[in-house]
Each structure stands twice: as structure tokens, then as C-alpha cells.
Amino acid sequence: MSNNKEKHLVIIGGVAAGMKAAAKARRESSTMKITVVTDEHYISYAGCGMPYYIGDVIKDSKKLVVREPVYFKTMLNINVLTRHQAIAIDTRLKQVKVKDLERGNDIVFSYDKLIIATGAQPIVPPLPGVNLGNIFTLRTITDTLKIRTAVDSGKIKNAVIAGGGLIGLEMAENLTIRNIKVTVVELLDQILPPLDKDMSMIVQNYLAGKGVEIITSDGVKSFEGDGNTVTKVITGKRQLPADMVILSIGIRPNTKLAQDGGIGIGATRAIKVNERMETNVPDVYAIGDCAESTHLVTGKPAWIALGSTAGKMGRVAAINATGGNDTFKGILGTLIVKIFEMHIGKVGLSEREAIREGFTIESTIVPASDKSHYYPGAKDILIKLIADVASKKLLGAEIIGEGVVDKRIDVIATALTFSTTVDQISKLDLAYAPPYSMAMDAIIVAANVLNNKLLGKTIGILPRKVMEKREGGETFVLLDVRTDFEYKSGHIKGCQHIPLDKLASRFNELDNTKEIITYCRAGLRAAQAYRILTNAGFNNVKYMDGSISAWSYGLEK
């Protein structure tokens, strides 16, 4: 390692990426001078915990602030300057011009190494009335305290959330917990845009059951107020009462400072970096939500802002800035979110993304139990797996349900990192005991189902495709093979009903000239019915993946 004595590392940004880089740089070098500048009041805070403080799940705001500047100074000899805004980078002179926002004067810092961790900023569209009171974004601790104060006032009865992404839905949960009527307005035709629509629809139906109104395919146009405070949200199709609005439309990488300094921007409009987190300018690194990465499945540039990624990037940049050698290969877009009692996870490519990337895909949706079904507390999860037909490699997964989702998402994240085939996943030696999983874990069951489809042993069809056939006017037989009791408790409109145990003796009731699609509660009996019919000579049969458990379009009795 090179001698860092008297060398100066300047870090712009003091949240997840910046402070991780500062702390790691000090561990790597005891002598390097380290200065962090941030325009915020607070540093090193847990941004992902902010909705839970607003919902009073987390009682004390101080618990969101992991460290304060005095800790970094006394324990690590790192100078952290809050309320100091970097306003210019001169890469030729290797200087950063900084404005002291409290005193108003400018300071110039010379650097040997520079790490840019300027993060991302919320998108605030220039809509009429957007500057009215009680219209908030949620990005900083300051934002959080303002929203919490408004909620605590007891005056907020109706809240409108513009945007149905992760943060928007976390806020929907936490405001509902605070007895506020919540309406989510999403411009797209689905909430949770990273997920495929068939999975997001199940979440949407669940939220409706919790009292959250979801409006899709509609956008906010303007805001109206009484005096200085918002009272109404005007969308393209309706008017909504609102005592509070949360703008959760999205974020964009905060790159202006870097761009003005001649630092290169990538295809995603974030700062372009290599595996060492180096920019196109020597001795300048970029990390966190302002920096681009590489998607490990596609190999293409990707920008997905997550605190977990920020910390890893910060660590790598710090090692390299202090004379070491480390790399960060990329990301999979792994995410997880809790909305009330439902857990929603995604990793790798969705079906939609995989098709856009040019893959020919096969996918499946498989309901399963998160632990042995007879063990107390067992809960259902729904697993969607997407694979490349040519290579048989897994491309991505989406998992939702009230059961344990995170460990299955992490298994798939590990598998995707090493380009695993579906068959290899089906043979993983995963931990088993009744309190933790089924004898064949849900992931292995789902991989087996998908592998059978890839090998042509079965032909399944996703519920969304069945609905598209109906809407397109196609004629086919939708065959319910559940028991009489199950059928009467709720079935898909227009289906034909023959219980599985009667199927072999009632072939003559089926029209062999039409396509037959079988379904049951979760898919197992539908697949058995598929085999019975194909073995009997029916040549145009499919079973519905996930069956009723994955059907989000309503039932009739």
C-alpha cells in the first residue's frame, strides 16, 4: 500500500455511501487526512427506516441517525462538515469549492483523492400548486420530521400518495397505521413497477383489502389549497380530497456537480464508473445513488438506487482511494419490501424486462408453504421464476406472500450471481427442518416446476395469459378440477367443473376439439389433470400455473 501520510481524501456526501467510504478509508489508512462535506444537517442516517418512524413503528427519531459528526472526529479522526455544500469541482487543480451554508463564506479544499457520493434527489414535477403546504417528498431526515409533525398534529384525515413504488407503498402502510385514509395514484397501469403486472395485481388486491385506495393509469395534474395548505389533488380523471400529499414519483441521480466538473455520465444518466468505482477522471471516484453500475444478468449499465449497494460501493472506493485494489462487479436489482403483513421481493429480471432484453423465456408461478404445512405458523408464498429457454439459466424471480420471502430471494440472488441453471437450483442442498421449510423447499419445488416446462414435460400457462385469451375472444375450455365444496366456495366465471377424482370417468364431457386449460387451488391437481388428459389422447391441454392462488381477476359463486 502506498504512503498516505499528508494525502487528503475528500468525500462529497454524508449518508450511506459517503460515510461507509470514510470509515473504511480510515481503517485502510491511519494517516490519510479525510474530510466529508454534506449540505445536510444529519449524516449517516438510516433512510430506509424513515417511513416506519412516521408510522410510529420506530418511536425515536434518534435511532435513525447511526452516527454523528463528533463520533467520526473523536473515534476516527475524520472531519465531517455538515451544512457545507460542494458547489464546484476543479479536476485540473484537484480542488473542491464548498459553501458554508450557515456562515455564507466559500472554502476551497485541495484533494489527492475525491469520492463523489451526492446521492439522488426526488423528482418534483412543476405542477400547479406543488409548492402548497403539506406537500412533501421523503428523502432526508428533515423531510421525515416535517411529515411526522404534520401526522402528529391530528389534522391529517386524507393523504394522497403520488407514485406506487416501494417508498410510496411503505408510506401507504404507515399512514394507514396512523388512521389516515390513503389513496395511491400511479400513472402506470400497475403499482410496484419493478414487478410483473400479474404479481403486482395480487399486492394491489391485498392493499385494497387493507383500506388503501389504489388508482392506476391516472396521473396527478395539479393541487388546490385553502390558503397555503393543500386540500385537493386534481388527476387526469378525478378530484381527491387531501390534507397531505407525498410525492413519491421517483428519484434521479444527483450528477450536476460531477457533470459541471467534466466527469463522465453513463447511459443511465448516473455517473459512469468502472469496477473500481473510478470515473473517467484520475483520482475521482463515484459511489452510491449517483453512480452507475452493471447488471449481472444482462451485463449492461444499470442504475438501481439502494442503500445496500451504496455501502458496498463505498467500501470498494475507499480501498482503492487508499492504495488498495478491490472491485465491485455489479448488481441484480435485489429488493424486498414489507407492506402490512405481506412481503414482496424481486431479484434479477422480470418477465417484461427479460423480453425487452431479447431473451426467449419460460416462466412459472408456484404457490408453496414457507415451512412444513403442518407446523404451526406456516404461511403461503407465491414464487414466480423466469428462465432463458436457450441456456436454461435462471434470469429472475419475484416472490410475494405473508410467509418468509427474504431467504428465498437471497438464495436466488446467490444463484444468479453465479449464472446458475434452473436444474442446478432444483438440486441445492438447502437447510430443512419443519419450522424452517418444507422437505423440498419452496424454491426447489418452483425450480422443478419450471424445469419440467423447460424440458417440455408439461405445458403451463400463466393466469395473466388465460385472461388475455378471454379478453381476446378466444374459445377454450377452462376446467376446474377441485372438489365440489371448493368449486361452490368460488370459481372462475365461465369454467367447466369436473373434480379430479372423477376426471378419468368423465372424458366424454370435454370438447376435444378445443384447447383445455386446467386449474385447481395452487396448481398441483391442475398439473395432474393435465397428465391424465394428455395420457388419454387429448392433444391441446395446458394447466394454469398457480391456479386460483395466482388468479387476481375475481371469482364468482
**Grid coordinates standing for 320?**
482503492
Over residues 282-329, the pLDDT tens digits come to 999 999 999 999 999 999 999 999 989 999 999 999 999 999 999 999
Architecture of the CATH domain 460-550: 3-Layer(aba) Sandwich (3.40)
CATH of 341-454, one of 3.40.190.10, 3.30.390.30, 3.50.50.60, 3.90.1150.10: 3.30.390.30
What amino acid is encoded at 123 in this protein?
I
pLDDT number for residue 35? 98
48 is catalytic: yes
Q: Encode 250-274: b = buried (16+ Cβ within 10 Å), e = exposed.
A: ebebbbebbeebebebbebebbbbe
Question: What single-letter DSSP state applies at residue 421?
Answer: B
**Which among 232, 231, 244, 218 has a CA at the least distance from the CA of 159?**
244
How many Cα atoms occupy the beta-carbon half-sphere of 141 within 13 Å? 18
CATH 3.40.250.10 domain span(s) along the chain: 460-550
Mean pLDDT of the chain: 96
Question: What single-letter DSSP state applies at residue 389?
Answer: T
Over residues 181-240, the pLDDT tens digits come to 999 999 999 999 999 999 999 999 999 999 999 999 999 999 999 989 999 999 999 999
CATH 3.30.390.30 domain span(s) along the chain: 341-454
Residue 2: pLDDT over 60: no
Q: At 92, is the pLDDT very low, low, confident or very high (cuts 50, 70, 90)?
A: very high
Beta carbons of 95 and 10 less than 8 angstroms apart: no
Q: Is 407 helix (H, G, I), strand (E, B) or coil?
A: helix
**Which among 549, 509, 557, 552 has a CA at the least distance from the CA of 533?**
509
**Dist. CA 510–CA 485, nearest whole Å:** 21
- The CATH class given to the 8-48+60-120+252-321 domain equals alpha beta
CATH 3.50.50.60 domain span(s) along the chain: 8-48+60-120+252-321, 135-249
* H/E stretch holding 21: helix 16-28
DSSP of 439-508: SS-HHHHHHHHHHHHHTTS--EE-HHHHHHHHHTT---EEEE-S-HHHHHH-B-TT-EE--HHHHTT-GG
Beta strand ranges found along 163-208 (DSSP E) = 181-185
Q: At 34, is the pLDDT very low, low, confident or very high (cuts 50, 70, 90)?
A: very high
Residue 444: pLDDT over 50: yes
**Alpha carbon distances (Å) from 254 to 119, 159, 216, 287:** 6, 28, 28, 11
Beta carbons of 292 and 270 less than 8 angstroms apart: yes
CATH 3.50.50.60 assigned to domain 135-249? The reply is: yes
Which residue in the list 48, 290, 495, 520 is annotated as catalytic?
Answer: 48
